[in-house]
A and B are shown apart, each in its own frame.
Chain A
Amino acid sequence: MTALSLEFWAFVGVIAGIYTILALGLQVQFGFTGLLNFGHAAFMAVGAYTMAILVVKASFPLWAASLAAIAAAIAFGLLLGLPTLRLRADYLAITTIAFAEIVRYVAINEQTLTGGPVGTIALAGPGRAASYNAEWLDVQRTVQDWLEAVIGDHATRDVTMLVIVWAVALVLLVVVDAALRSPWGRVLRSIREDEDAASALGKNVFAYKLQALALGAALAAVAGLFFAFQFSFFSPGDFDPLVTFFAYTIVILGGTARNWALPVGAVLFGLIFAGTRFFDFTPFTLFDSADRAYLRLIVIGLILIGLMLFRPQGLFGKREEMVLE
């Protein structure tokens, strides 16, 4: 893949789409309800792994495995939430990271269940590559055929994936946006503002937080599913805490509670992240790929620090909303 080809943009676009869905989940939890959930990547992992394990080990059809994956992530979200939701923001953050790390450790060490550190490629046992992607490829091919009728030769695998991911992302954005603008969403925002006030007005704060966590987890699971479909094979390392940090960067960059800024942030992120792998012109050629990876992360870190220092409301947020915090 060369830089700036259609394939390149399709690839960046798919990453951006997956991250939009992931960030949307975080938006519900953090942007609207004020939950500092730092275990978000674990929901993605639970979704992806549940689907893969059910297909390979239990011969589930893809659609059933995918639904089960989303249900599993919701269940995990509730399990996480029940004990931790009454903790203060930063303690909630640390506890959720701990939960996520436990998930990652289990994924690495329970080789027979998850394929271990090399990931789902080993899911079917040593020497046999797992293939849960077969059904997905069929689905994709169907869409691709349809797409060819519309845009002809440009309907490559990556472009097809791009269309599917973004179609889903847009539908989810519309639906979740509507939910967040509703009276239900209003309660979530009040919890972010002042839990005691919300409580005094008769709102069951704990129940609403659980709902936000569950919805966010479901969205993360969908992102995890698309991740699995796009990359075929994945390993525990793909669900590192860094992934959660990236999602936070996107949410904060757009300005918390600005739902339509999420795709913008995700695309920017996709460019920084996926894009810089493929730029083969100076100054990028001065750094080898490992160094570029480190630079990317330094840039993300600086963006986060810079935002907190100079523009905590993000690119699109309103200054007044931060001043009143």
Chain B
Amino acid sequence: MSELAQLSANGLVTGSILAIAAVGVSLVYGILRIVNFAHGDYLVFGAYIALVVNVSWGGHIVLAALAAVVLTAVLATALEFALWRPLRRKRAGVFSLFIAAIGLALVLRHAIFLAADARPRRYEVDVFQVYELGPIRLSQSQLVAVAIALAAIVLVGLMLARTGLGKAMRALSDNRALAAVAGIDVDRTVVLTWVVAGGLAGVAGLLQGLVLNSFTPNFGFTLLLPVFAAVVLGGIGSAYGALVGGLVLGLVTEISTWSALAGGAPPVYKPVVAFSVLVLVLLLRPQGVLGKARLL
């Protein structure tokens, strides 16, 4: 039983980070109409910005987090103007957008490799400090990560539900043409959506870096498929769905290694569990848990 409790706690940590990355992808889906293949690398960007502040400049991890959020939001906005908007103006189709996203992913990731090299990096945090809550043991990094992630989830959820911007984002995601007709300033909402998605990606990157202990610029791609799985599980086009999907997927992948489940899946296969969830959902219930029934 205590194994299950520990796995659930771990699952909550992974899941909450997946959730905030996934909600960014979901919000952006409302604009791009594709899942942004480069999103994982927005996370990596955030993680490395935080690294510069925390390790190179000796700044406190909180300052590093702020820098990650702000600068990734700036990156996301810049890319909207440099890449996504021109593509939309040219009425680029699904293929073109997807391929452009792949190109962007390659450029971002390897630019970071070029700037920072392939050595595994870590933040200046105390890795030995462990907190015990009953049968559960969490490192300081995990505790910080889950606290920040859950706070972010609550904030995003509130923003989406209560603020004008949130409503506009959801309207845009639902039906762009109708949103424009309803008087929503589409261009402004698009930029603000990128700001929010970029900020979320920045913090998700930092948190993932914390939880991984040491990381290289490849971690974005490694996380990308589980993030997509979370988005699809929760329902494409539903930001709340992405939050739910992330948390559920995190729990499912961790608990899949529980020894009570026929020995449990070998931990190295956790990504395979996530991929399998992705494939199964797309095949059996493509609209996910909270999504609207769309014809794929």
Contact = CB atoms under 8 A, between A and B. Distances in A.
In the complex they form, do A and B come into direct contact, defined as C-beta atoms under 8 angstroms apart?
yes
B100 A309 contact: yes
A308 B110 contact: no
Interface string A299-313: 011111111110010
A248 interface: yes
Interface in A226-275: 241-242, 245, 248, 252
B194 interface: no
Nearest to B94: A89
A295 B106 CA distance: 10
B118 A105 contact: no
Nearest to B32: A90
A101 B279 CA distance: 12
Given A98-B225, A308-B92, A301 B110 contact: yes
Interface in B94-121: 94-100, 102-111, 113-114, 117-118
Contact of A87 (B87, B109, B286): B286
Given A88-B296, A90-B35, A291-B114, A301 B96 contact: no
Contacts of A109: 266, 268-269
Contacts of A248: 99, 102
B93 interface: yes
Contacts of B283: 83-84
B162 interface: no
A91 B225 CA distance: 12
Interface stretch (B126-134, B168-176, B270-278): B270-278
B95 A89 contact: yes
A184 interface: no
Contacts, number: 121
- Which of A102, A252, A307, A308: most chain B CB closer than 10 A? A308
Given A83-B283, A304-B99, A325 B93 contact: yes
A102 B273 CA distance: 9
A36 interface: yes
Contacts of B108: 301
Given A94-B225, A98-B275, A298 B296 contact: no
Interface string B113-154: 110011000000000000000000000000000000000000
Contacts of B117: 290
Nearest to B90: A309
B86 interface: yes
The A interface is mostly helix, strand or loop, or mixed, namely helix
A90 B97 CA distance: 10
B268 A252 contact: no
- Which of B92, B99, B111, B228: most chain A CB closer than 10 A? B99
B92 A94 contact: no
A102 B106 CA distance: 21
A278 interface: no
Contacts of A325: 93
Contacts of B106: 242, 245, 297-298, 300-301, 304
Contact of B271 (A83, A94, A101): A101
Interface in A72-103: 83-84, 86-91, 93-95, 97-99, 101-102
Nearest to B296: A88
A63 interface: no
Given A109-B268, A298-B107, A308 B278 contact: no
Interface residues of A, number: 44
Given A89-B98, A94-B35, A298-B106, A312 B266 contact: no
A98 B283 CA distance: 13
Interface in B63-89: 83, 86-87
A256 B43 CA distance: 32
Contacts of A94: 35, 225, 228, 232, 278
B295 to A, nearest CB: 8
A109 B266 CA distance: 10
Contacts of A99: 275, 279
Interface string A44-76: 000000000000000000000000000000000
Nearest to A93: B98
A304 B100 contact: yes
A307 B103 CA distance: 10
A84 B296 CA distance: 11
A294 interface: yes
Contacts of B296: 86-88, 91
A273 to B, nearest CB: 13
B34 interface: yes
Interface of A: 34, 36, 83-84, 86-91, 93-95, 97-99, 101-102, 105, 108-109, 241-242, 245, 248, 252, 290-291, 294-295, 297-298, 300-309, 312, 325
Given A241-B221, A305-B83, A312-B96, 9 more contacts: A88-B296, A94-B225, A99-B279, A109-B266, A109-B269, A298-B114, A304-B102, A304-B103, A309-B87
16 contacts: A36-B95, A84-B283, A91-B282, A95-B279, A98-B279, A109-B269, A294-B114, A297-B110, A298-B111, A300-B106, A301-B110, A304-B99, A307-B99, A309-B90, A312-B96, A325-B93
The 10 closest A-B CB pairs, nearest first, are A301-B106, A304-B103, A301-B107, A305-B103, A98-B275, A308-B100, A294-B110, A297-B110, A301-B103, A294-B114
